[in-house]
Amino acid sequence: MDEQAARCIVSGRVQGVWYRVTTARQAEQWSLRGSARNLSDGTVEVIAAGDAEAISRLCAWLWEGPSGARVTGVEVQEWSDPVEPGFRIF
């Protein structure tokens, strides 16, 4: 397995639409660990670690999100800090 980690900043209408919860479900479905949190500027930060192919799938899914979301941008960066087991919502 090719392990990697990424930090994604998702912008648009992504708070108050169950974005973090549905992201956590997707991440867990693909056996990823990490977190999702609302940031004060209205964006959502997603940190995910695991199989490189699963990270790519999640990053593509972030453009869709739940039905109430209107995503206008997904900025993806490599992440080198440790990522704890499980997927947490903050």
Mean per-residue pLDDT pooled into runs of 10, the chain (90 residues): 90 97 97 98 98 96 96 97 95
Distances (CA, A) of 63 to 9, 57, 84: 11, 10, 24
pTM of the entire structure? 0.95
pLDDT of residue 3: 84
Distances (CA, A) of 46 to 51, 61, 85: 16, 12, 15
pLDDT of residue 68: 94
Active-site residue set: 20, 38
CATH of 3-82, one of 3.40.1550.20, 3.30.70.100, 3.40.50.2300, 3.40.50.80: 3.30.70.100
